[in-house]
Amino acid sequence: MTTLTKEIFEGYTYVDGGVCAAKGFSANGMNCGINPDKEKNDLGIIFSRVPCQTAAVYTQNKVKGAPILVTQENLKKSENIASAVIVNSKNANTCNPDGVELAEKVCQIAAKELQIAPEQVVIASTGVIGERLPLEPFEKAMPELVDGLSEDGNGKAAEAIMTTDTVKKEVAVRFMIGDKECFLGGMAKGSGMIHPNMATTLNFITTDVSIHAPLIQEALSEIVKITYNCLSVDGDTSTNDMVSVMANGEAGNKEIREIGEEYEIFRQALFIVMENLTKMLAADGEGASKFLECTCDGAKDLDTAVAVAKSVISSDLVKTAMFGEDANCGRIFCAIGYAKADFDMEKTEVRLVSEAGNLLVYKDGAAVSHSEEEAAKILKEDKIYILVNLNQGEVSAKAWGCDLTYDYVKINGDYRS
């Protein structure tokens, strides 16, 4: 996986702990037998000692995994109050005739062990679609899983959601709201079947900030558009995608119930964590050898900036050119040109950038002659930045992805094994 440098934001400090960084949260992970490889965790849990104000976004795929449907119903029943997340890997529990019934039973089993109401459980699954998921592994493992909950258990939980991921993905930040020290952290999984469409992966975020659920939802729905929705690995949108945010109020700040300075502090923390997780997901794309970031500057509005950046990152031809270290920049120009937005290519500039250099390749409506040798040096790096300046406004946006390699085909050619 490409190593990424975290951007520094004033007033926010990166800390360890992932979903356990926030006060009052614990986690655990283990192998319960869904994955026959006993060395790999396949069942994870996150728990808050007090109920949480909770918000979530879900896949827009018309085929939705049973856990999505059950979580939606649970949060409706509980009026957006949750205390726990239970998640398994290896089997998506999707397109199964008894999938909803099974997911409901798992919530009941977890709730009994945790001594909470079943509707306070957020449930998620990831893995193969269309294969039946047995209940027995959950029944047998739940007592041990709950008994092993720990404030240091975030790593085990993060490992439990990995499928083709090569590394676990966690990040957390510390910040102040008034005189109260606050934390917000998250974990994510995703390597393939990733394309912009609401959530794109499994992501679980926790915080000890006291904030009303509708405001969490507002912040989450806004930020997902400029983070997870600007991520593309392979053009496929999964059936089980979810992002949830749980806030237990343990920081002790006065509950945030309206948009203002304290809301903006929380919102920025959420953005920092979500953007970092998005970059980690892009860098760990299935078979990836290069991390790609496209920045669109000079747009007249955010929708235009996002559309152009996503169009470039989502292009398979751009991805394969980056893998081949081939400065076939016409593929980039083409991808910009079919973005669903209104702008003038005659005013647009395009640059290729990496630690090896900065190269102008397009200006005034035409390709710019450049050194193939210099371009090759730039594209040999494992982090490539494509800079698009529309020169038609003041708004910018970024999108993230990776190259498309031979290994991607190999991984997905025998995914079920």
36 contacts: CB under 8 Å, gap ≥ 6: none
Residue with the two structure tokens 């910040």: 175
Residue with the two structure tokens 């726990």: 84
**Nearest residue to 59 via CA among 92, 22, 10:** 92
**Nearest residue to 165 via CA among 196, 131, 188:** 188
Tell me which amino acid residue 10 is. Answer: E
Whether 200 is a known active-site residue: answer: yes
| Number of continuous H segments (helices) and E segments (strands) in the chain | 11, 16
Contact in structure between 387 and 361 (CB atoms under 8 Å): no
Residues in the chain: 417
Q: What distance in Å separates the CA atoms of residue 131 and residue 124, rounded to the nearest whole number?
A: 15
The rounded Cα 262 to chain-centroid distance in angstroms is 24
Rounded to the nearest 10 degrees, how much is the dihedral formed by the CA atoms of 319, 324, 328, 329?
40
- Locate 254 and state its tokens: 């006065």
- Locate 355 and state its tokens: 């630690």
Beta strands 121-125 and 81-88: pairing type? parallel
Rounded to the nearest 10 degrees, how much is the dihedral formed by the CA atoms of 389, 393, 395, 397?
-30
Contact in structure between 54 and 71 (CB atoms under 8 Å): no
Given the residues 71, 164, 200, 206, select the one marked as catalytic: 200
Backbone phi, then psi, for 397, in 5-degree steps?
-155, 160
* Crossing angle of helices 302-314 and 316-323, rounded to 10°: 60
- Residues involved in catalysis: 200
